[in-house]
């Protein structure tokens, strides 16, 4: 299949930026602080997907799709 399994459950999203993070008292880094650019975000997704593929947790084509989605969503 060409569809990735969606995650079921709950989550607490990261703040978009440092100001939003401070306003709600979240100690975790914001998305902007974690990924200062689209290039950095795609690089980190690539590294994670590649590691999971090499360890046998992802198929090669699924790892490639995660990277493509990261490039599109930025």
- 8 lies in some domain: no
Question: Residue 12: inside a domain, yes or no?
Answer: no
Is residue 13 in some structural domain?
Answer: no
Q: Does the residue 69 lie in any domain?
A: yes
Hey, what are 51's tokens?
């590691």
Structure-model confidence comparison of residues 73 and 67, the more confident one: 67
- Domain span holding position 28: 18-73
57 domain-assigned: yes
Measured CA distances, 32 to 2, 3, 24, 54, 71 (Å): 30, 28, 16, 28, 16
Structural domain includes residue 3 = no
Q: Do you know the residue count of the chain?
A: 74
For the chain, the domain total comes to: 1
Quick: pLDDT tens for 18-42: 999 999 999 999 999 999 999 999 9
Distance CA 70, CA 42 (A): 6
Cα angle: 71, vertex 9, 21; to 5 degrees: 60
Tell me the per-residue pLDDT of 49-67, one tens digit each, with 9 for 90 and over: 999 999 999 999 999 999 9
**Residue 33 neighbours by CB distance under 10 Å:** 14
């Amino acid at each position: 299949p060409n569809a990735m399994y969606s995650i079921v459950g709950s989550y607490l999203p990261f703040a978009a930026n440092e100001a939003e993070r401070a306003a709600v008292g979240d100690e975790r880094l914001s998305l902007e602080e974690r990924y200062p650019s689209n290039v950095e975000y795609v690089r980190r997704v690539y590294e994670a997907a590649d590691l999971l593929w090499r360890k046998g947790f992802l198929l090669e084509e699924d790892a490639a799709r995660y990277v493509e989605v990261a490039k599109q969503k930025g």
